């Protein structure tokens, strides 16, 4: 008959960790971590972060393009660059409000320009060209006299 020999139990499975300090437990955990596995995990995490960032940028770009398209379709006089500059200055800017304000400002500026042109042409008409030359000739001696007196 063969005798059955008792096999010793592996020491690692029967160890009691109660007698170990916190520092010893942490060092055991650190020793058991596979550095290759950790590097792989960090690499995968960084790749996932990059993909998320690319997705967020693409999503924000589509949203911005949609807002610009809506604003320029309602206010066609507003240049795209003005709307982009508004977003650069304040990323929470409402592009419809910006486009409305820009359009209103442009409209008021054109009105003021046309009024000032009308006033200049109708209230202060330019003398004919021949009269302007004569008036300069008449003013020249007066200017020379004034300059000599100073």
How far apart are the C-alpha atoms of 26 and 20, rounded to whole Å? 10
Q: Residue 64: CB partners within 8 Å, gap ≥ 6?
A: 87
How many angstroms separate the CA atoms of 97 and 118, rounded?
31
**pLDDT one digit per residue (tens) for the chain, 150 residues:** 444 444 444 455 445 667 777 777 777 666 555 556 677 888 899 999 999 999 999 999 999 999 999 999 999 999 999 999 999 999 899 999 999 999 999 999 889 888 888 888 877 767 666 655 555 556 555 555 555 544
Query: 């008959």: which residue's tokens?
Result: 1
pTM over 0.95, yes/no: no
């Amino acid at each position: 008959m063969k005798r059955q020999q008792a096999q010793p139990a592996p020491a690692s499975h029967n160890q009691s960790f109660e007698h170990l300090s916190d520092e010893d437990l942490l060092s055991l955990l650190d020793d058991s971590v596979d550095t290759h596995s950790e590097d792989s995990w960090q690499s995968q995490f960084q790749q996932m972060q990059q993909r998320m960032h690319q997705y967020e940028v693409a999503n924000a770009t589509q949203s911005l393009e949609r807002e610009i398209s809506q604003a320029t379709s309602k206010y066609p006089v507003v240049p795209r660059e003005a709307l982009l500059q508004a977003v650069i200055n304040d990323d929470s800017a409402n592009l419809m409000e910006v486009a409305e304000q820009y359009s209103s400002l442009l409209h008021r500026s054109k009105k003021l320009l046309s009024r000032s042109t009308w006033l200049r042409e109708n209230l202060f008409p330019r003398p004919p060209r021949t009269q302007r030359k004569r008036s300069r000739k008449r003013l020249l001696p007066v200017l020379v006299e004034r300059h000599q007196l100073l």
